[in-house]
Amino acid sequence: MRMAVAALAAAGLVGAAALAQSAGDSYVEPATGLAFPEQIGRFHRSSVKEYPDNRLGVKIGYEGPAHAEVFVFDMGLKEIPTGIDSDAVRKAFADSEDAIARVLARPPASEGKKFAEATPTVENEGRVARLKVAVYKWSYTDSAGKGAPMATYVLMTAVKNRILKLLFTAPAPDPMALQADLKELVLGFMEANPKDRASFLVDKPAGEQPAVGKP
């Protein structure tokens, strides 16, 4: 996965300061109590960066079949409703998409475009958990002119008055081929936080059709 990290660093999707940090013992994010294990399946926690500006929260990096970064932040807001329907989540997601589009529009990235978007929903005992998801397809060209197809997923929701965002990037001619690796990381994180699974659930709107699965 070194090529993916190099591509991200060159394209500006990951900072050098984050790459320089090393993993330690299991990290518990102080505001939410969510645990980020040193190992989740094939993913190894590679960095923890707590920003000096409290509004930006913390960034946790993982390396494995893909390069992943989890952001936990509140933008200075005291209350953020759980789920994806708040103005805070809509703004944060739009800001993330704008930032990705800008990065993918300049070298060494090229041919960047949104490939797909969705709001997957899972249901448990009449309550639901939702995510906002966008998938980007792009190309990376190194200094020698050698290129590679890349894909980046951005996932977002809110929980415990914080926004939770995941950036997930890897070489991939077909972005959909990354779904199994993405699922491994997300489900592994949920398994590491069994007491907090219900925190992601909200009441299902009246008249909504049943969703599939359980968080």
- Within a domain: 215: no
Q: What was the pLDDT predicted at 108?
A: 94
Per-residue pLDDT of the chain (215 residues), as tens digits, is 444 444 444 444 444 333 333 334 789 999 999 999 999 999 999 999 999 999 999 999 999 999 999 999 999 999 999 999 999 999 999 999 999 999 999 999 999 999 999 999 999 888 999 999 999 999 999 888 888 999 999 999 999 999 999 999 999 999 999 999 999 999 999 999 999 999 999 998 766 555 555 45
- Within a domain: 201: no
Residues 48, 49, 54, CA angle at the centre, nearest 5°? 135
Q: What was the pLDDT predicted at 211?
A: 53
- Within a domain: 208: no
- Within a domain: 180: yes
Residue 8 domain boundaries: 2-120+128-195
For the chain, the domain total comes to 1
- Within a domain: 145: yes
Q: Is-contact 199 160, C-beta < 8 A?
A: yes
Q: Considering only CA atoms, which of 113, 115, 110 is closest in space to residue 139?
A: 110
- Within a domain: 191: yes
CATH number of the domain to which 98 belongs? 3.40.1000
Q: What was the pLDDT predicted at 17?
A: 39
Q: What was the pLDDT predicted at 213?
A: 52
- Within a domain: 49: yes
